Amino acid sequence: MSLFTRRIATRFRIGIALSSAWLIAMSPVPLSMNFHSPMVAHAADEDIVTIPDPVLEEEIRFALGLFEKPDPITKGKMKQLESLNLNGRNITNLEGLQYATNIKSLLASDNDIRDITPLANLTNMFYLNLTYNEHLEDISSLATMTGLEGFRAGWCQIRDVPDLSGLHKLKTLSLYRNQIQNVDFISPIASNLTTLELMSNEIADVSSLANMHNATIQIQNNHILDVSMLDWETNKIKSSSQTITLPTQKTGPSQLVFLNPVLSAKGAPLSPFGIYEDGIYQAGTNHIIWHLNPLEKTGSKSFYYAELDAKGTPYNGGRVTVPYEVVEAGPVTVRYVNTSGEVIAPERTLTGEYSQSFMAEAVSIPTYALTERTSTMSGVYTEEPQTMTFVYDKAEAAPITVTYESLRGKTLRPVKTLTGKLDEAYQLEVPQISGYTLQAAPKNQSGNFTEEPQTVRFVYQANPGGPVTVHYQDETGKMLAPSHTLSGNYEESYQAEARSIAHYTLTKQPSNAKGTFTEAPQTVIYTYIRTPGQPVTVSYHSTTGERLHPDRILTGGEGEAYTSFALEIPGYHFQQVVGQASGTYTDKPQQVRYLYQPEEVLSGGNPARPTGGRGLPPASETSGVVQRPSTSIGILSPSLSSRPSERPISPVGSSVSSGSLTRPSSSALPRTGEQVPVGSVLVGVVLLVGVCYYRWRHHREKSTK
């Protein structure tokens, strides 16, 4: 559309606007209408706007229909602007447009605009085109133009883009052919953008575009080496024609070995599409190798890469230039030291070309071993001298076994094992072992670790142990046999033996009857109890064999004394005792029989005394007077009214004529109704007379006293 045509159209719109205004003015106005606010607004709108750029003023007047120069451009008039086309008008200053608060579209390409500050608060503007303003650098005012949906400013001199996080409606952003290097400003608005044009800038890193999806992205002709982080599935991306110059590579004089840094759109190593200067690509290592002219100390090599679509059109690719500089490599010194840093073997020096590999090797050093597992060190030659150090330590020596034993070979302490390095010194302390004394210090108590195993033996002699005293006693502590003492060395075994003691039985074996000698004295006590003796049965019978009183059973321990007593039994008088009236309990049962003679009236009025006639059981050979023993266990029956007789008792068959005891006849007692022989009667008479005489004499002696 020609300028003349645009102006005719504008005049037509102005005519319509004026007619509308006239109709409104002629309409009746209600008296109650408040004119205060419109009047204030009207006063502000009447302020005249100064527009320094005459071309801009001309375009605004034409857009507003103010064809005559005297007609002022007021703020109110500026509010009527909704769009303005300033393309190709050589405008340099936008001052005055800040009052076009309702403008929605501004086309201002192909001018010489350098400052867009007047546009900063035009929040109703949704489209702005500033392309081909070749001196425009500062677009910081863009940050507050929150209504923008599209912004174009290609072919400018823009280096820095402001924070666009407030431009939530922005869909299209075109900034191609500028000087932009950093695209971090994209991150806050990446999810909103549908079109992004950043071709022909100085961009090398596009990781800020990783969050863009379902968009058209053009980033051709930059310096981008890696685009693998972009969403190639949903976006339409063009990233071809990249020109990448890498940092200068230092190299040796014969060849340049270079690791290919290019990645495909999917992030895999991308092999070169072509290599200049007869370079060679090694796919296995992903290296590119160029042979160099030794006379050329500096230069550059290059290769190009490309990824093609189904039609054979590159969608990703570019040329990579590798500058290089030939440098001299520093030597590599290989040192061999111990853990203290002391040199233990001669140093070695390795030389080679810069960036070439080298391998340093350890050497075998007697009595030493490497502290590290590896015996080689590798690297590449650099400009600076390098040092490779192998650290050695003394090799592990054979172990030293330390034993502690007695002269008899008994282990007194756990075996100890010492470990150390070859030639390392060791010193063993002599431990004190309770109950033992070291016989002699071993010769190798101190020394050095060697390659051969060693044994250090500490041999101890046992000290005399404390005595073991063995007692034999009853339950009350009474000694029953002489004590004796066992002696021996510390920890030697001892065995105490029980003794056989007459009439006593060992209650139990003491727990320490068997043991070992200790440093402290010990006591072993054997405790005995009296062995129960067999009972002594005391019976009371008539000479005719009739039981006159229940038997008395006397009990006690073997060796203890017992004493039995004759009883006074009405109608009978004691005749003799058969067995031991007093004695000691033994391991066999004993019988004591007291024999009684029925009392008979003899001539002279005295009862007849029984004689030691035929038929009496044999008497014991012991004699004596029946006394009440203090230790007798036998007791009299409480039913007896008779008391024990304390008169002398003659054993069976004894005679009173001489006072000596005579063994009685062994003939048996006569049975009831049996004829008593005359001899037996005479013997009985003699005994009776003797007894009577003895009693008379005894009575007389007592009365004379």
- CA 196 – CA 222 distance, rounded (Å): 14
- CA 697 – CA 647 distance, rounded (Å): 12
Give the pLDDT score at 683.
62
Strand, helix or coil for residue 42: helix
Place 703 in a pLDDT band, splitting at 50, 70 and 90: low
Q: In the predicted model, is pLDDT for residue 307 greater than 90?
A: yes
Residues 90, 233, single domain; the answer is yes
Residues 233, 253, single domain; the answer is no
Give the pLDDT score at 687.
77
The burial of 272, by beta-carbon neighbours within 10 Å (0-12 exposed, 13-18 middle, 19 or more buried), is given as middle
CA–CA distance from 332 to each of 341, 381, 627 (Å)?
18, 8, 126
What is the per-residue pLDDT across 114-148, written as a single tens digit (0 to 9) for each? 999 999 999 999 999 999 999 999 999 999 999 99
Residues 452, 356, single domain; the answer is no
Q: In the predicted model, is pLDDT for residue 254 greater than 50?
A: yes
Residues 354, 339, single domain; the answer is yes
What is the per-residue pLDDT across 476-518, written as a single tens digit (0 to 9) for each? 889 989 998 999 998 889 999 999 898 899 988 899 999 999 9
Give the pLDDT score at 660.
32
- CA 680 – CA 653 distance, rounded (Å): 12
CA–CA distance from 361 to each of 348, 352, 379, 393, 466 (Å)?
10, 16, 12, 17, 68
Residues 96, 222, single domain; the answer is yes
Give the pLDDT score at 32.
34
What is the per-residue pLDDT across 329-364, written as a single tens digit (0 to 9) for each? 999 999 999 989 999 999 999 999 998 899 999 999
Residue 297 located in a structural domain: yes
Last residue of a domain, one of 575, 596, 617: 596
Residue 231 located in a structural domain: yes
Residues 236, 314, single domain; the answer is no
- Least confidently predicted of 53-62, 154-163, 207-216, 399-408: 399-408
3-state DSSP helix/strand/coil % of the chain, to nearest 5: 15, 35, 55
Place 43 in a pLDDT band, splitting at 50, 70 and 90: low
* Strand 590-598 to 536-542 pairing: parallel
Residue 28 located in a structural domain: no
- Amino acid identity at 249: Q
- CA 200 – CA 131 distance, rounded (Å): 14
Residues 564, 510, single domain; the answer is no
Residue 671 located in a structural domain: no
* Strand 105-107 to 83-85 pairing: parallel
Which CATH number covers residue 584? 3.10.20.320
Residues 201, 292, single domain; the answer is no
- CA 438 – CA 463 distance, rounded (Å): 10
Q: In the predicted model, is pLDDT for residue 659 greater than 90?
A: no
Q: For residue 536, which of 603, 479, 586, 610 has the smallest C-alpha distance?
A: 586
Residue 379 located in a structural domain: yes
Percent of the chain with pLDDT over 70: 80
Q: What is the mean pLDDT of the chain?
A: 83
User: For helices 54-64 and 3-26, what crossing angle results, to 10°?
Assistant: 50
Which CATH number covers residue 198? 3.80.10.10
CA–CA distance from 663 to each of 253, 549, 609, 652, 666 (Å)?
149, 26, 19, 7, 9
C-alpha of 478 from chain center: 64
Place 699 in a pLDDT band, splitting at 50, 70 and 90: low
Which tokens hold the place of 30? 């209600």
Give the pLDDT score at 321.
97
- Least confidently predicted of 215-229, 397-411, 606-620: 606-620
- Please give the sequence-ordered ranges of beta strands (E in DSSP) within 86-152, or none if there are none: 105-107, 127-129, 150-152
Residue 651 located in a structural domain: no
Residues 128, 93, single domain; the answer is yes
Residue 217 located in a structural domain: yes
Q: How many CB atoms lie within 10 A of CB 635?
A: 9
Last residue of a domain, one of 445, 462, 479: 462
Instruction: Give the position of tokens 């038929």.
Output: 615
For residue 83, list its beta bridge partners. 105
Last residue of a domain, one of 414, 444, 462: 462
Give the pLDDT score at 22.
34
* Strand 425-427 to 446-448 pairing: antiparallel
Which tokens hold the place of 191? 């999810």
Residues 540, 434, single domain; the answer is no
Place 407 in a pLDDT band, splitting at 50, 70 and 90: confident
Place 6 in a pLDDT band, splitting at 50, 70 and 90: very low
What is the per-residue pLDDT across 436-476, written as a single tens digit (0 to 9) for each? 998 888 988 899 999 889 999 999 888 898 999 999 998 88
Residues 297, 341, single domain; the answer is no
**Residue 655: what are its φ and ψ, rounded to 5°?**
-120, 145
User: Domain range for residue 547?
Assistant: 536-596
Which tokens hold the place of 291? 């042979």
Strand, helix or coil for residue 185: helix
- CA 157 – CA 177 distance, rounded (Å): 8
Instruction: Give the position of tokens 């109110």.
Output: 76
HSE-up (13 A, CA, CB side) for residue 96: 27
Residue 619 located in a structural domain: no
Place 697 in a pLDDT band, splitting at 50, 70 and 90: confident
- CA 42 – CA 217 distance, rounded (Å): 48
- Amino acid identity at 540: Y
Q: List b or e across 231-265, with b for residues whose CB sees 16 or more CB atoms inside 10 angstroms.
A: ebeeeebbbbbbebeeeebebbbeebbbebebbbb
- CA 172 – CA 143 distance, rounded (Å): 15
- Least confidently predicted of 435-449, 524-538, 634-648: 634-648
Give the pLDDT score at 395.
84
Q: In the predicted model, is pLDDT for residue 87 greater than 60?
A: yes
**Residue 682: what are its φ and ψ, rounded to 5°?**
-65, -40
Give the pLDDT score at 373.
72
Give the pLDDT score at 36.
38
Residues 283, 372, single domain; the answer is no
Number of domains the chain is built from: 6
- CA 76 – CA 46 distance, rounded (Å): 6
Place 639 in a pLDDT band, splitting at 50, 70 and 90: very low
Q: How many CB atoms lie within 10 A of CB 323?
A: 14
Give the pLDDT score at 700.
67
- Least confidently predicted of 130-144, 259-273, 364-378: 364-378
- Least confidently predicted of 152-161, 407-416, 544-553, 632-641: 632-641
Q: In the predicted model, is pLDDT for residue 286 greater than 90?
A: yes
DSSP one-letter string for 655-684? -SSSS---PPP-PBPPPTTPPPPHHHHHHH
